[in-house]
Amino acid sequence: MKLQQLSLFVENKPGSLRAPCEALAAAGIDLLTMSLADTSSFGILRFIVRDPDRAKQVLESAGMVARVSEVVPVEVENKPGGLAKVLAAIDAAGLGVEYMYDFGAASRGGKAAIIFRFEDPDAALAVLQAGDVRVLSSEELLSDRTA
Amino acid sequence: MSTWNDPPGGFHSVSAPDYLPRPQLAGVQLQRLQSVVTRAYDRVDLFRSRMEERRLTPASIASLADIARLPFTVKADLRDTYPFGLFASPMEEIVRLHASSGTTGKPIVVAYTQADLDVWSEVMVRSFAACGIHRGDVIQNAYGYGLFTGGLGMHYGGEMLGATVIPISGGNTERQLMVMADFGVTALCCTPSYFLHLLESAKEMKIDFSRLRVGVFGAEPWSDSMRDRIEQESGIKAYDIYGLSEIIGPGVGVECSEQRGLHIFEDHFYPEIIDPETGEVLPDGSEGELVLTTLSKEAMPMIRYRTRDVTSIIAEPCACGRTLRRIRRIGRRSDDMFIIRGVNVFPSQVETALLRVEGTLPHYQIVLTREVGLDQMEVKVEVTPEVFSDEIRKLEALQHRLEASIENILGLRVKVTLVEPRTLARSEGKARRVTDLRNV
């Protein structure tokens, strides 16, 4: 299943990560995972929360520019070659990966989760679900993290 | 019943001069020109000595074309004669003084007799009428009240029109929006950049201003593309008004419903376009520096005042029926210009370049620096929800498109930097577009 991810524009300068995190903290929003992509002048902060629409509102009312986009969480075996196997399947299906990041490897009995952003999330989802790769549902992904 | 701001056919006398046949207008202009030149010659030392240097007397002005023989007045003349050296009336007859902000050194001071204030209100009434503002309209006047002419000029014009004027002055955005919504404001006066700021804040605060119909925007150059954005996003009609304190304040010229150039109130302000290098008068249609002569001013006549504003005169008749000639919207002031690597650059050119790239609102700032002897120009552009992408390469592509668009217009490589929204300085008065950090 596809998962909603929140992306935020941040300038490459001291303090620019703190403001969004403080705004979300004040609203009681828990960051489940996050990743930062950066260039020499700006960055994109991407994160997964339980209620991305509310988080977007919180950030926008703090004057920031945020966007909700769709990503695909994929299960990966937490052992050498686990990710390579999944990437081979993605490659074989001819899917383009924009970026990916870890959802946190510690949980779920030896299985890790990797968040993928594909050029075409719907096509990717169809191909992956039909193949040997296990796409996680947001329920199993998010409920694991409540403990 | 007929009121004086009715459209042509039913108008009362106040807007009548807007529709004078040209020959009749020329007669009024010549008589007033002769009278104001005589007044300045008789009462202002600087002007008389400059006339004498050219072996001119007031009698030398036999036709309107003779105005080209008169000396120019420049801003430095106002500074050099600070505070009262150019006054043509004794203080007993002067009822109001205004002054410029004067960012460098002494401000410039301007004076009004009661008759001058009456003319000012009259041209403001005619300006409001041209923008379709009537008795019954509620005008929120967000120009600064005080030494700046914008606030009081608009204020008395609005009252003389018979509209309801809210003298809220500048600043305090939240209160502006509250008043706009709660008082049923139908017309707003402020700078265009401040209106963009109000629009942004209104969206955030979810303020309803659907009763607002007209904006009268001036005191800084703004482009047609900026007007398109304002009108599309707000649903109001946005009119450009022109004026300067040295001449009278707001109300020297204004757009009509056609929005194709600003009618100059030529019965009070005589416009010429000159070549800024040679001072030679250029024919209608040519671009050059606007020069204005106050035809009816008493306290402080300005003879051939060089405005530094770059425009051209449109002599063709306007579809609105006014016979007053128009000037093209002023995109730039010759002194806003900066030179980088030998290229003359006007901020308005950068604005045009940014607007050509779809989805970019004109919140930007130009920063000039000097690195190892070479001048660098950076344009900081705020990211908006419309252009923000989750993908680095799309944002970099946007940066490159903006850079290419600017290079296309200026012929100059510049660096575009995307910055977080609401981080560039928003003045509540005039927009400050250029920061020059070069130690030249």
Question: What phi, psi does B284 have (nearest 5°)?
Answer: -50, 140
For every residue of B423-435, DSSP letters joined together read -S---SSS---EE
Q: In CATH, which of 3.30.300.30, 3.40.50.720, 3.30.70.60, 2.40.10.10 is domain B338-436? A: 3.30.300.30
Span B1-333 CATH architecture? 3-Layer(aba) Sandwich (3.40)
- Residue B383 and residue B309: Cα distance in Å, rounded? 31
Range among A62-71, B75-84, B161-170, B377-386 rated most confident: B161-170
> What is the CB neighbour count within 10 angstroms for residue B17?
20
- Residue B313 and residue B270: Cα distance in Å, rounded? 12
Does the pLDDT of residue A147 top 50, yes or no?
no
* Mode of pairing for the β-strands spanning B237-244 and B415-419: unpaired
Q: Same topology for domains A3-69 and A71-146, yes or no?
A: yes
- Residue B160 and residue B141: Cα distance in Å, rounded? 14
Strand, coil or helix: B271: strand
Strand, coil or helix: B291: strand
Superfamily of domain A71-146: VC0802-like (3.30.2130.10)
Q: Where are the domains of chain A?
A: 3-69, 71-146
Short-list A99, A93, A96, A84, CA closest to A34 = A99
* Angstrom distances, CA of residue B105 to CA of B79, B100, B101, B245, B429: 9, 11, 10, 17, 20
User: Percent of chain B having pLDDT more than 90?
Assistant: 65
Backbone CA torsion sign across B302, B308, B309, B314: positive
Does the pLDDT of residue B17 top 90, yes or no?
yes
Short-list B12, B352, B354, B371, CA closest to B161 = B12
At the topology level, CATH places domain A3-69 in: VC0802-like (3.30.2130)
Distance of CA B386 to the CA centre of its chain: 30
Question: What phi, psi does B157 have (nearest 5°)?
Answer: -60, -45
Which tens digits make up the pLDDT trace of A81-126?
988 988 988 888 888 899 999 887 555 677 888 999 998 888 888 8
- A-to-B residue pairs, Cβ atoms closer than 8 angstroms: 51
- Which amino acid is located at B62 in the chain? A
What global pTM score does this model have? 0.69
Contact check, Cβ <8 Å, B419/A11:
yes
Q: Average of pLDDT values for B123-136?
A: 96
Distance from CA of A95 to the nearest CA of B (A): 17
Within 13 A of A76's CA, how many CA atoms are on the CB side? 28
The pLDDT of residue A54 is 94
Q: Which residues of B touch A60 (CB under 8 A)?
A: 204, 385
Strand, coil or helix: B422: coil
Which tens digits make up the pLDDT trace of B139-163?
999 998 999 899 999 999 999 999 9
Contact check, Cβ <8 Å, B420/A10:
yes
Q: Average of pLDDT values for B418-426?
A: 82
Complex ipTM: 0.82
- Structure tokens given for B207: 């303020």
Q: Where are the domains of chain B?
A: 1-333, 338-436
User: Is the CB of residue B421 less than 8 Å away from at least one CB of chain A?
Assistant: yes
Cβ distance A56 to A48 under 8 Å? no
Q: Which residues of B touch A64 (CB under 8 A)?
A: 420-421
Contact check, Cβ <8 Å, A65/B389:
no
When the pLDDT of each residue in chain B is averaged and rounded to a whole number, the result is 89
The pLDDT of residue A146 is 47
Q: Which residue has the tokens 């001072």?
A: B279
Contact check, Cβ <8 Å, B390/A61:
no
